[in-house]
């Protein structure tokens, strides 16, 4: 996989209509979803996601069945779907965004 891409590069070729559809769909998303449900809700095929991530379609199928993965890998998948990943720790009296996992170029 070639280096990290900026999020804006992933969506720059989307039509205004597609961007609007994605925005509307995001508003309807559940708080908890499996990756495959999220991809389907956003109307992105495994083949489209594979192309954005520069992998083959069967790799997406395997990825969606995984129960663990690197945060950096999950971030790439979420960004390829047009989202942004944040890691938040919730406690009884509040929550903290964990910044160790925030975006950085390697």
pLDDT tens readout for residues 37-89: 889 988 999 999 999 999 999 999 999 999 888 988 999 999 999 999 999 89
Judged by DSSP in three states, 52 sits in helix
Residue 24 in this model has a pLDDT that exceeds 60: yes
What pLDDT score was predicted for residue 28? 66
Residue 22 in this model has a pLDDT that exceeds 50: yes
| pLDDT: which is higher, 21 or 27 | 21
Residue 4 in this model has a pLDDT that exceeds 60: no
What pLDDT score was predicted for residue 2? 45
Running DSSP on this structure, what letter comes out for residue 54? T
> pLDDT grade, residue 106 (50/70/90)?
very low
Please give the Cα distance from 60 to 81 (Å, whole number): 12
Measured CA distances, 94 to 85, 88, 89, 97 (Å): 19, 10, 9, 10
Strand intervals (E) in the chain: 88-91, 94-97
Residue 20 in this model has a pLDDT that exceeds 60: yes
What pLDDT score was predicted for residue 64? 93
Is 1.10.8.60 the CATH classification of the domain at 7-101?
no
């Amino acid at each position: 996989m070639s280096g990290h891409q900026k999020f804006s590069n992933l969506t720059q070729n989307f039509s205004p209509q597609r961007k609007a559809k994605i925005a509307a769909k995001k508003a309807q998303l559940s708080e908890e979803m499996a990756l495959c449900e999220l991809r389907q809700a956003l109307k992105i095929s495994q083949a489209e996601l594979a192309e954005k991530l520069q992998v083959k379609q069967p790799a997406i199928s395997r990825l969606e069945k995984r129960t663990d993965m690197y945060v950096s890998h999950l971030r790439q998948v979420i960004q390829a779907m047009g989202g942004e990943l944040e890691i938040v720790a919730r406690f009884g009296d509040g929550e903290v965004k964990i910044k160790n996992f925030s975006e950085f170029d390697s």
